[in-house]
Amino acid sequence: MSSNEKRFRISVDAMGGDFAPGEIVKGAIQAAREYDVEIILVGIKEELDKELSKHDIDGLPVTFVEATDRIIDGEQAAIAVMRKPNSSVALATRLVKEGKADAVISAGSTGAVMVSALQYLGPLPGIDRPIAGGPFLHFAPNTVVLDLGANVGCQPYQYVNFAVAGSVYVKCFMGIENPTVGLLNVGSEEGKGNDVSKEAYELLKKSGVNFIGNIEGMDIPAGKANVIVCDGFVGNILLKFAEGIGYAVSQWLKKELADRRPEEIDKITSKLRMMMSPATVLGGGPLWGVNGVVSVAHGNSKAEHVVGTVKQTILALESGFIDKLRSELENATEAINNKE
């Protein structure tokens, strides 16, 4: 282990996710072994003890904080988090607020993570709701799309928030300077679309982001912009449509390639599914728009996805994602106000 002045401390909701606590604990310990990071497991004592006994954590910076409760599948997120302040997700998030951890990771209900984050860390200035977004097609590896469903029925100014958040993400996580921003629309010319997209177009021009204008559906897999902004209603349908297409094409390919060896076919079709849905491969990403690093992992995360999420979380911390996001959101608001 290197002797950093300060090692990042990441609290992990050990009880959240389809394969919790087993796979979460396993992945978190593996991450502590691979990266120079301190892991704080937050969970129910007996269950964690049992899992920890399976691993050799001698000398690893893995500690444990006891939660007395957990959020159950199907609970209404907002109510559950309020009623269970000592649930693993609430407690893990509170460690960040109290300065005892630098970031938090959960593979539990996204709703519960969001509510915990808003309650204990609060939103960044100018953000109403956390933004859901990220890379969503491997065909366009340098492109992120947002919002993907957290914000439905958006006002024009929210598109600017999406553009800024996406730009900061692409800079911090992909190392691309001056990322391009496209507005997803039904035609490439200015003046296309519905009322909201027309107004959003005007605001994006003024916002200071590197706005390249409208882009269309076929431009997403082509990666025509680094950041593609849309209403969460559209983004969510697209995301699920891409998943559905990935499945349909895979099934179709199995028939088309039936003369090949089964393991070859499996290799191609699972690669294709991965091309259509990078989120499941990368592990989790940050929740955008809350005042702290909160990483959401897929509900069906296995140990390797937890390791991937820890890696993304370290990237967020090292790159100063939240501070940059805060200051660029302010800059964009100023830029728009100055030009009005």
Q: How far, in whole angstroms, is CA 188 from its chain's centroid?
A: 29
Q: What does the per-residue mask of binding to its own copies show for 100-139, with x meaning CB under 8 A?
A: -------------------------------------x-x
DSSP string, 83-123: H-TTBHHHHHHHHHHTTS-SEEEE-S-HHHHHHHHHHHT-B
CB 214 to its own copies: min, Å: 11
Q: 321-339 and 195-206 helices cross at what angle (nearest 10)? A: 100
Place of tokens 């992990």: 12
Binding map of its own copies across residues 270-299, x = CB under 8 A, - = no contact: -xx--xx-----------------------
1/152 with CB nearer its own copies = 152
Residue from 122, 141, 217, 262 binding its own copies (CB under 8 A) = 217
Q: Least separation, in Å, of the C-beta of 61 and its own copies?
A: 40
Alpha carbons within 13 angstroms on the beta-carbon side of residue 44 total: 12
With the C-alpha atoms ordered 62, 27, 299, 53, is the resulting torsion angle positive or negative?
negative
Distance of closest approach, residue 202 Cβ to its own copies, in angstroms: 17
Q: How many Cα atoms within 13 Å fall on the side-chain side of residue 14?
A: 29
Which of 13, 38, 102, 219 is the binder for its own copies (CB under 8 A)? Answer: 219
Report if residue 34 touches its own copies, rule: CB under 8 A: no
The CA distance from 223 to 141, in Å, is: 8
Residues at the site binding its own copies, with contacts judged by CB under 8 A: 137, 139, 149, 152-153, 184-186, 193-195, 197, 216-222, 230-234, 236-245, 247-249, 252-253, 256-257, 268, 271-272, 275-276
